[in-house]
Structure 1
Amino acid sequence: MSRQSSGLIGNWAEARRRQQQTQVIQQREAERRRRAWDRDVARGEREQQAAYRQHREAEARRRTEGIEAEVAALRDLLVTGCRATAFRMASLVRSEVLEAFRPGALAQPVATPRIEQFLEQSSGMALGSYRRVQAEREAHAQFTRASQKAQAAEARRRQQLADHRQQYDRWAAEQLVGIRAHNRGLNELAGKLRAGEADAVVEYFSAALYASTAWPEELPRQVSAAYDQAARQLVLDWELPRYGVVPEAKSVRYLPSIDQDKETARPAAQRRALYRDLLAQCLLLVVRELYAADEFGALDSVVVNGFVDDHDPATGREAQIILAMVSAAHSAFTGLRLEQVSAVDCLVSGLGGQLSARPDQLTAVRPGRRPDEVGGGVVSHGGHAGDADDEPDLFAMDPIDFENLVAELFRAMGMEAVTTQRSGDGGVDVEALDPAPIRGGRIVVQVKRYRNTVPPTAVRDLYGTVQDKGANKGVLVTTASFGPGSYTFANGKPLELVPGADLVELLHQYGLRGRLGGGTPAPAAPARRAAGTAPEPESPADHNVLGMSWSGSVALDVCALVCEGGRVLSEDHFVFYNNPRSPDGSVRSRAHARPDKAALEVSFDALPERADRLVLVAAIDPEVDPRADLAGFTDAHIRLLSAGGEELGRLEVSDGRAGETALVLGSFRRRANGDWDFVIGGKGYRGGLEDLLGEYGVEVA
């Protein structure tokens, strides 16, 4: 008969057995979890591998679709081009409807205070009758002061509104003069086209081709043209795309075994056939564009020589190699339905043209009549930068072409850029998008094809457009130059001014073409100086140096105005960082030497005869610290030095005051005997250099 052990050893054995059972259970559970984890990892790896493979296969399909889309665009060039709107003279007409006057906040009158407001504030504090009377008197006094302040503010608002309106009216009048002159020029051009004048015909049709919307941006559009007036025939050379425009690959496939993409090459015969078809389409589209633009009946026939710029296989030298040619009469061409033709058959059989059998190997065909064989002037558009005489004159360029050129420049600089519509553009000619993550953003561009200095009102208008459009920056591009007033207004604002000489330099830098008139650059404004430096041109021997010193760390711009009475002689007689010398060189900026912090150079005897004073001013440099004021401008003086650096004397000037950002230091005044005496200044301005210059006739805003 068995019995259950109840002794100490028995209890220990039972506990030990249960512990062993628990460990076995735990081991089995851990093994189960490990197997489950392994299954999950394996599943995740398989899913990850599958996802990676799907991603690579999708990328390969997208590349293949991109190649197929490129080929489809080349095959459909003629069909797509025939849908484009034909070039018309009316597209060049400028609307006389200008942007409306926008006074902004100036349109809102200053609120007039009400006595009740002040009485209500005082009623809660008045306990006794005496105190109530005192409180009411104080309320009336406060009301009177507030009313006077409001009246003064309203008077300033009305004056500013009147000034703003006057500036707008001047701008509108100038715009209308330019618009009407442009439209009159178009009417004159239309008359010349009807009369078949060679120069007008060549200019019109070559420009129509160059500005056509039928051509993709990636295809070239260099053209040279001449017109035979007697035969009413336009003869031109047109640049064709190179063989590389046809993709070498036919498709892309992902190979998971080696984790690489494999391109399937397009058969050479297929690629050559695509290229020949593209060349034929290009010539047919050129002829179509010309006849579609002929609203004046100037063309009876057209000769087009299609060429590529490449190395001649026979000589190895750069040459224009003719790969296709067609001579098409208007009567024969008008009966064609280009959307349904085979381009090669139409060009060769239908119109009797020529097409290279091996254009991929630059096998040339016999050219037709060339523009330089016609006689008269040959007009060219597009192409590569060469001699200045071969480049388009920016002054003579059509305004639309000029805007397109500026947009092309921004695209060449890595931005997205488009020209705006001719009407309703809100003062914007080109819109650009800079993809740079910090300094980039939306840019509005205005284009001014001027010969004279751009007025500051144009810069002010651009700033208003930047604010109205919510853009990051405004750029004003011109063929002319800017005056000191423009640079002063733009200083510290998100504006960039590009004068003519800088524009030409940028065009050449990015592979584009353009010149100013005969090739002589327009005067360019110097770049903003670095702190403590200034241009130092050759100086006359009989000059003096004015060395400016002051205590404190405030950064200042020291400037000079050559004046007659209280008015500057001209904007060019305002000498500052962007205009380092007066027109005659009698006043110049120069590098300073210790202990001076700024310096000017003056040849008093060379100052203009009608100038009777030289005004010296200082202003906070907003690029260093836009929040600074002249409280730190103390212990200031001017050292009068000889040309050799000998100190001839010291001129004391007034200290600056808190809240002011510009100060008249003093002025040298011409006496009846011809001597110059220094008169201390001291008048400060809270509105900075802009307010100060306004009193001396320099137009900033």
Structure 2
Amino acid sequence: MPNFDHYLMQSGWTAGHRAQAHSEARARFERDWYAAQAAEAQRQQQLASYEREYQQWADAQLAYARRYNADIVELTEGVRLRDPDSVVEYFSVALYASTAWPESFPRQVTAAYDSVAGQLVLDWELPAYSVVPEVKSVRYMPGTDQDKETLRPVSQRRALYRKVLAQCVLLVLHELFAADEPGALESVTLNGFVDGHDLTTGRPGHIYLATIMARRSTFLDLHLAQVDAGSCLADALRGQLSARPDQLTPVRPSRRPQEVGNRVVMRGSDEDPDLYEMDPIAFEDLVADLFRAMGMQAVTTQRSNDGGVDVDALDPTPIRGGKIVVQAKRYRNTVPPAAVRDLYGTVQDAGANKGVLVTTSRFGPGSHAFANGKPLELISGTELVDLLHRHGLRGRLGDGTRRTAVHSMPSVPDPRLFSRYKVLGMSWTGSVALDVCALVCRGNRVLSDDHFVYFKNPQTPDGSVRALRATAPDKAAICVSFDGLPDDADRFVLVAAIDPEVNPDADFSGFTDARIRLLDPALTELGRLEVSDGRQHETAVVLGSFHRRSNGDWNFVLGGRGYAGGLEELVQDFGIEVE
């Protein structure tokens, strides 16, 4: 803080001007003192705000760690007790976490567990014949400035492929038995398959190229580093390997997961990877794949000295195209405005036409305000998932029970039922009071504030969406004309939020057994859509959304994205400014 003595010393006044100089020094001191007081008060206020934000973040991280550890303990105990679901989950994770299984190889499994026999039964996808390159070597010919390829002999390629398949089977068995610390596996039945077409019927399906039933005691006696994979599989373990896997000559699989009698779990085909848990390099590769799927040239940069750029993209479109620098951030919390400012600096330094910041999280008002009018584009997590699905790629936010993925409607086989006027009735278990709202969007942005239907705006300007009084068993209802939605709308989103006046201290932990009933104008039920349960500390959630397909039909996409900041935070994610 300012010291008045310093102001007196700076004056250098004479005896005749002592009183005037003293008064001027006092005025300067008081001006600076009040300014310093105000600055200090602002600093303390900002510091307190930062401390609150940090504490909220730390509490959330600690709660997540405790939930995660509790889940691990529960899962391990389930494996020890030979609970089928726990055993399948545990060993599926072991296979997916394997660092020995090549990253480029498929990871698709269907599994079940026989708790009486202590046997894990699984179908596991093997690499296709193309994994063995047709070209053996490439030599540059300086005289003709061309590359000369030498093809691998067909017999050698076939032999190598059989060897790869045998090694894959042994590797999967090794990973399973090595992970069996709880001692749940007495044996493993493994059927290895590739996707192909049945040569007798022409229909697509699984072609089984290997099958084996390996007992734990027998397998652990092997010295895998010294064996010939094919001989070990066929002779020591008495398994079967296709004689001509290159021609998809099948073998008859042993016991199948569907024959066990317990619930069969499939992973890898329909379940999208969790973007939150994805390896950072894999996440950057996925973002680069997305830009390539959108018709651009894109490559990931080196991990060091990348200048703040994760993906370099080039849009070949004339006039509006050009160089694009991309940053990919796997965040769970809101991206700070500083990251957006840094991206703008990178765009200028790189001489790029545009900068794109892709995140698994969201952006606050400060980030959108800074990006406004600049060659920057901000893609939030929900927008990223939507873009991935639109371009044939896969990704979700959060655990599998709340993933964003297209679900078929059990009772509504034909999406053309989404026409004319339909009533969406919503019900749930629990006494928590909710406001159910709807947003008419293009992508992840609402068309306008008037297209946000809630208690203060009960219908859209054209009347295509309006709130209704619910009739039992529904607790809320929305009427929508899918055919009447604006032409530029491709998403119709249903959301719910805690009513702060009725339940000021409630959260979505009391929101269970939720569903949406699709009703015709006469309130006859046409089908039901299941909705994910709520979570503790969340006060608003996206129930789900209807996506317009290219042929004009609509598909339902399960939501589950939760918000701790209530309806205000949720609608900000859809581009609505809250005053």
Q: Same fold (TM over 0.5)?
A: yes
- 1:249, 1:266 within 8 Å by CA — same for their partners in 2? yes
Give, in angstroms, the shift of residue 294 of structure 1.
0.9
**Offset from partner CA, 1:554-594 (integer Å, 9 cap, x none):** xxxxxxxxxxxxxxx99x99999867325336189989xxx
Q: What secondary structure, in the 3-state scheme, does the structure 2 residue paired with 1:492 have?
A: helix
Give, in angstroms, the shift of residue 471 of structure 1.
9.8
- 2:276, 2:360 within 8 Å by CA — same for their partners in 1? no
2:154 is the counterpart of 1:268:
yes
2:334 is the counterpart of 1:459:
yes
Q: What secondary structure, in the 3-state scheme, does the structure 2 residue paired with 1:231 have?
A: coil
Note the residue ranges of structure 1 that are not aligned, 5 or more in a row. 1-111, 384-390, 420-430, 449-457, 523-537, 539-568, 592-607, 612-689
Cα 1:215–1:417, aligned 2, differ >3 Å: closer, same or farther? farther
Richer in helix (by share): 1
Of 313, 327, 350 in structure 2, the residue corresponding to residue 436 of structure 1 is 313
Bigger CA radius of gyration: 1
Mapping 1:341-420, distance limit 5 Å: 341-383=227-269, 391-392=270-271, 400=277, 409-413=286-290, 414=298, 416=300
Mapping 1:32-43, distance limit 5 Å: none
**Offset from partner CA, 1:75-131 (integer Å, 9 cap, x none):** xxxxxxxxxxxxxxxxxxxxxxxxxxxxxxxxxxxxx223355445543xx5x6444
- 1:393, 1:517 within 8 Å by CA — same for their partners in 2? no
Rounded Cα–Cα distance in structure 2 between residues aligned with 1:316 and 1:367 = 20
Q: What secondary structure, in the 3-state scheme, does the structure 2 residue paired with 1:162 have?
A: helix
Residue 454 of structure 2 corresponds to which residue in structure 1?
A: 583
Mapping 1:157-556, distance limit 5 Å: 157-256=43-142, 258-383=144-269, 391-392=270-271, 400=277, 409-413=286-290, 414=298, 416=300, 433-436=310-313, 438-440=323-325, 442-446=327-331, 448=332, 458-459=333-334, 462-463=336-337, 475-477=358-360, 486-487=364-365, 490-492=368-370, 496=378, 498-500=380-382, 502-507=384-389, 509-512=391-394, 517=401
Using structure 2 for the length normalisation, give the TM-score: 0.60
- 2:275, 2:395 within 8 Å by CA — same for their partners in 1? no
Identity, % of aligned positions? 42
- 1:235, 1:369 within 8 Å by CA — same for their partners in 2? yes
Residue 649 of structure 1 corresponds to which residue in structure 2?
A: none
**Offset from partner CA, 1:186-244 (integer Å, 9 cap, x none):** 11111100000001111111122123211222111111111111111111111111111
Q: Which amino acid is the alignment partner of residue 584 of structure 1?
A: F
Cα 1:182–1:335, aligned 2, differ >3 Å: closer, same or farther? same
Q: What secondary structure, in the 3-state scheme, does the structure 2 residue paired with 1:218 have?
A: coil
Residue 137 of structure 1 corresponds to which residue in structure 2?
A: 23
Count of paired positions: 405
Rounded Cα–Cα distance in structure 2 between residues aligned with 1:518 and 1:269 = 49
**Offset from partner CA, 1:28-84 (integer Å, 9 cap, x none):** xxxxxxxxxxxxxxxxxxxxxxxxxxxxxxxxxxxxxxxxxxxxxxxxxxxxxxxxx
Give, in angstroms, the shift of residue 175 of structure 1.
2.4
Give, in angstroms, the shift of residue 298 of structure 1.
0.6
Q: Which amino acid is the alignment partner of residue 360 of structure 2?
A: V
Q: Which amino acid is the alignment partner of residue 385 of structure 2?
A: L
Cα 1:114–1:500, aligned 2, differ >3 Å: closer, same or farther? same
Q: What secondary structure, in the 3-state scheme, does the structure 2 residue paired with 1:163 have?
A: helix
Give, in angstroms, the shift of residue 185 of structure 1.
1.5
Rounded Cα–Cα distance in structure 1 between residues aligned with 2:46 and 2:25 = 31
Cα 1:416–1:209, aligned 2, differ >3 Å: closer, same or farther? farther
Rounded Cα–Cα distance in structure 2 between residues aligned with 1:204 and 1:329 = 19
**Offset from partner CA, 1:242-265 (integer Å, 9 cap, x none):** 111111122223445544322111
Mapping 1:45-84, distance limit 5 Å: none
- 1:435, 1:441 within 8 Å by CA — same for their partners in 2? yes
Q: What secondary structure, in the 3-state scheme, does the structure 2 residue paired with 1:215 have?
A: coil
Q: What secondary structure, in the 3-state scheme, does the structure 2 residue paired with 1:584 have?
A: coil
Give, in angstroms, the shift of residue 403 of structure 1.
8.0
- 2:87, 2:113 within 8 Å by CA — same for their partners in 1? yes
Mapping 1:564-583, distance limit 5 Å: 580=449, 581=452, 583=454
Mapping 1:653-692, distance limit 5 Å: none
Note the residue ranges of structure 2 that are not aligned, 5 or more in a row. 291-297, 315-322, 347-355, 407-420, 422-433, 463-498, 503-568
Rounded Cα–Cα distance in structure 2 between residues aligned with 1:284 and 1:136 = 92
- 2:113, 2:119 within 8 Å by CA — same for their partners in 1? yes
Q: Which amino acid is the alignment partner of residue 477 of structure 1?
A: T
The range that moved more, 188-197 or 238-247, is 238-247
Rounded Cα–Cα distance in structure 2 between residues aligned with 1:208 and 1:498 = 31
Using structure 1 for the length normalisation, give the TM-score: 0.50
Cα 1:235–1:574, aligned 2, differ >3 Å: closer, same or farther? closer
Give, in angstroms, the shift of residue 347 of structure 1.
0.9
Cα 1:508–1:183, aligned 2, differ >3 Å: closer, same or farther? farther
